Amino acid sequence: MTRITLVQGDITEQQVDAVVNAANSSLLGGGGVDGAIHRRGGPEILADCRRLRASRYGKGLPTGQAVATTAGRLPARWVIHTVGPVYRPEVDNSALLASCYRESLRVADGLGAETVAFPAVSAGIYGWPVEDAARIALTAVAESGAAVAEARFVLFGAETFEIFREVMVAQGLG
């Protein structure tokens, strides 16, 4: 059973086995968490991403999938890059968002990671309403059946942290 924990903070400072990145399918970096991870982790992460593009992901990493690289200078062993769906009110992409968490945990299990830090995937630049994103994220992790011992949600602001905490309590996980 994976224990779910919540902290308010910066994901690049977490001492965990794996840090999940809310990437885009190019795997070549961007803003938000992605920018912070590449800045703090250094160029080794991008070099690994480029190798993945040259080998397995010439067309980019599809939405809902996940892949691991080195964590460079971050205090973690791996970065697991996943691509969340862009929020569109007229289309229900929640299965793709849930898939990001399931696939990241599957990759983490494959690596033997025991502790994994997650950001609120898609809840920033990709526009997902935080409460809905939290519900999908927490359900997906709680139902994943992963061997990972701890899934730590690292929420950047006080407001996002509070929303995750309320959803966690409402779902009987807190």
CB of 155 to ligand AR6, least distance (A): 6
- Looking at the Cβ atoms of 94 and 147, the one nearer to ligand AR6 is 94
The yes-or-no answer on residue 34 being catalytic is yes
Question: Is 65 a residue that touches ligand AR6 (CB under 6 A)?
Answer: no
Distance between CA atoms of 154 and 172, rounded to whole angstroms? 19
- Looking at the Cβ atoms of 62 and 145, the one nearer to ligand AR6 is 62
Distance between CA atoms of 10 and 4, rounded to whole angstroms? 17
Footprint on residues 120-139 left by ligand AR6 (CB under 6 A): 120-126
Using only C-alpha atoms, the chain has a radius of gyration, in whole angstroms, of 15
C-beta neighbour count of 95 within 10 angstroms: 12
- Where does this chain touch ligand AR6 (CB under 6 A) — which range of 25-33, 43-51, 67-75, 136-144? 25-33
With H, G, I as helix, E, B as strand and everything else as coil, classify residue 169: helix
Spatial contact of 152 and 117, defined as CB atoms under 8 Å apart: yes
Question: Is 30 a residue that touches ligand AR6 (CB under 6 A)?
Answer: yes
Question: Is 100 a residue that touches ligand AR6 (CB under 6 A)?
Answer: no
Question: Is 74 a residue that touches ligand AR6 (CB under 6 A)?
Answer: no
Q: Which listed residue (34, 92, 109, 132) is catalytic?
A: 34
Spatial contact of 3 and 53, defined as CB atoms under 8 Å apart: no
Buried b (16+ CB within 10 A) or exposed e, 34-51: bebbbebbeebbbebbee
Applying CB under 6 A, which residues contact ligand AR6?
10-12, 22-24, 30-34, 36, 84, 119-126, 154, 156, 160
- Enzyme catalytic residues: 34
